[in-house]
Each structure stands twice: as C-alpha cells, then as structure tokens.
Amino acid sequence: MLWREEKTVKIDRLIAIMNYLLRHGKTSAQKLSEEFEVSVRTIVRDMETLGQAGIPIQSTCGADGGYSIMDTYVVDRKMVSREDYDHIITALYALLSAYADKDVEQTVDKLMPLYAHADAPSVLVDFSVANEDREVNAAIRILESAIRQQRAVAFRYTNNENAVKQMEVEPVRLEFKWYNWYLVAFHPGHQDYCMFKLIRMEEIAVLDRGYSVDHGERDIVLQDNRTGITVTLRGKAVIRAKCREYLNGEVTREYQNGDFEFRFCAPEREVYWYGVLLSFGNNVTVLEPQSVIDRILATCDEVREHYEKDGGK
C-alpha cells in the first residue's frame, strides 16, 4: 500500500513540475528542488521520467542553464478534470460580468465544446458592479491595449487631496478591488510602482514610448498596508450583520447584551468604509485608532454647522 501512495505523490509532483515549467519557462534544478522540497538529484530523475513519458524537456547548461518545455508543447485536455473545467468556466463568467470583452467571450466559446457536461457551474461569481460605468469601461479598453503593446500612457489624475496632476506612466496590470478598478503602473520618475483609481483618470492617451524596463521579470507587490488602516469598533447587535456585509472584517469579541467588537482593515483615504461607519450613527462606537475618532467628530461638527448656518436654510 505504501508504494502506491509514494507513486501517487510522485505523479502529482511530476504534473506540478510540468505545469510550473509551462508557466515560468526555463528554471534551474536548484530552484525546482526548493520549490518542490526535494533534492536536486530527485529533480534530475523527474526530468528523465517526464522525457520518457513524451514531454519535450529541454536542458541547458551553464550559469543561466536549467530545464524548460518546448514552446510547441500542448497539454492533453484529458489532464484537465471536470472540476478543473468548472473552475475555469466559473472564473471566465466572473470576468465577463466585470468586463464585457469579446476576447473573453471567444475564449468561453472555445472552451465550451470541451466542457463535457451540461450542468451549470456549482458556483457563480457576479462582478457586474465593476461594469456599471461607461467611462471606466472605455478606460479599461484603452489601458488593456496599452499593456498588451507595452506602451506608456499619459492622463490627468485627481488624487485624494483633489490635486490635479498630469501623469506619464507605464501600465502593468488592471485590478478590481475595494469596489473599484485600479491601474498598477510604473512611474519612471520615481522608479517605483503605484496604483491609480480609474474613475479619477481623464484624457487617457497611449504614447509612442515603450517600456523602460521589463516588468514581466519583476516581482511587483504593492502592499495594501502602505496606506491602510485597521479600525476596531464596538457595535450594537442590530448592525452586526451589516458590519460583516459591508466592512469585510471579523468579530473579535462578544458581550452578553448582544454588543460585539469588530475589526477590519481598509485603505485609509477611501470614503466607502467611512461612509458606512457614519451611516451606523449611534449604533457604533469606534475604539481605535484615534485618528478615525477625530475624523468622525470633525465631520459631525461640520455637518451640524452647515445645517445650523443661516437658520438651516
């Protein structure tokens, strides 16, 4: 029985190695051994096994050497299970709900004949909220084209302080998060990556200038906590469900009277979560940080002053 388990583990590792090489291209034996937590000798034997199985493995020597799979190799569709197709179709339909693109529709058309059963996917993800603004949709198409062509773009941008600046950046990818579309781009002047909210971008133009660096070879990670904030609050039972629904956090403490403590993280300068807090009124008390408490008190004073001015007229 043990040899069967070992054989299953090896087969799973061989498939994983093959998929890794298809995604990442030429990779050294040392890197593969670290990735799959086996010895370099085991990796060498695995490469021989893949070659004997008909996988066109290429091996190169030298400082930049490693293993790769010929570009012409195509994975047999039998290696993709029914559950795999479920996941792929679900992801594609989610993408279509967020961004109506003919290329994605054509991809779905290509995959459907391989989708061997008529049952609907067990999970449906609807991101149609991301597809509600025509101007943003137009910006997505322009930026996606620029990314594919590896061209820089120029646009006018209004930041959180309402300052308007003319920007020239190298677009890398589009992201939908925090209920908004964002552009991740490289700023040549700052030699760093940054994010721009599409709804604040105007007069987008694709420039003749190409990329100054190869972004595909860089590990581009933008930490949300650069401008993020962690908020802890105490709420009454009546808003418990709404906190979980709108603030995407967790209950950290519960009281006998039904009150609860709740913690969530969010971009500090975004207004969505702040507006939600204000809508809860006296059903919620922010415990920390003090900056949010001060912000709420200042907002309340400004609103009261506004309505009391000139007798509320």
Number of domains in the chain: 4
Using alpha carbons, select from 215, 218, 174, 217 the residue that is nearest to residue 197.
174
Q: CATH number, domain at 255?
A: 3.30.70.240
113 and 62 in a common domain = no
Using alpha carbons, select from 169, 217, 230, 166 the residue that is nearest to residue 195.
169
Question: 193-249, pLDDT tens digit by residue?
Answer: 999 999 999 999 999 999 998 887 677 766 544 457 899 999 999 999 999 988 989
pLDDT over 60 at 184, yes or no: yes
pLDDT (0 to 100) of residue 2: 40
60 and 14 in a common domain = yes
272 is in which domain, residue-wise?
226-310
d(CA 178, CA 273) in angstroms, rounded, equals 10
Q: What is the pTM of this model?
A: 0.58
- The percent of residues above 70 in pLDDT, for the chain, comes to 83
d(CA 42, CA 133) in angstroms, rounded, equals 53
233 and 305 in a common domain = yes
Mean pLDDT, range 70-94, rounded to an integer: 71
d(CA 31, CA 65) in angstroms, rounded, equals 11
Question: 130-176, pLDDT tens digit by residue?
Answer: 676 788 888 999 999 999 999 999 999 998 788 999 999 999 999 88
Phi, psi at 52, each rounded to 5° = -65, -25
pLDDT (0 to 100) of residue 4: 46
pLDDT over 50 at 5, yes or no: no
126 and 143 in a common domain = no
pLDDT (0 to 100) of residue 157: 96
Q: Taking all residues of the chain, what is their mean pLDDT, rounded to a whole number?
A: 83
Mean pLDDT, range 284-290, rounded to an integer: 96
Last residue of a domain, one of 20, 44, 69: 69
Under 8 Å between Cβ of 249 and 243: yes
d(CA 50, CA 55) in angstroms, rounded, equals 5
pLDDT over 70 at 291, yes or no: yes
Supply the Cα-derived Rg of the chain in whole angstroms. Answer: 26
Last residue of a domain, one of 108, 130, 152: 130
282 and 248 in a common domain = yes
pLDDT over 60 at 308, yes or no: yes
Q: CATH number, domain at 177?
A: 2.30.30
251 and 292 in a common domain = yes
Cis peptide before 289 (omega within 30 of 0): yes
Task: Find all residues with CB under 8 Å of 141, minimum gap 6, and list them.
Answer: 101
288 and 240 in a common domain = yes
Which residues are paired to 27 by β-bridges?
A: 67
DSSP state of 178: T
Answer with the residue of higher pLDDT: 91 or 199.
Answer: 199
Q: CATH number, domain at 32?
A: 1.10.10.10
Using alpha carbons, select from 222, 217, 211 the residue that is nearest to residue 169.
211
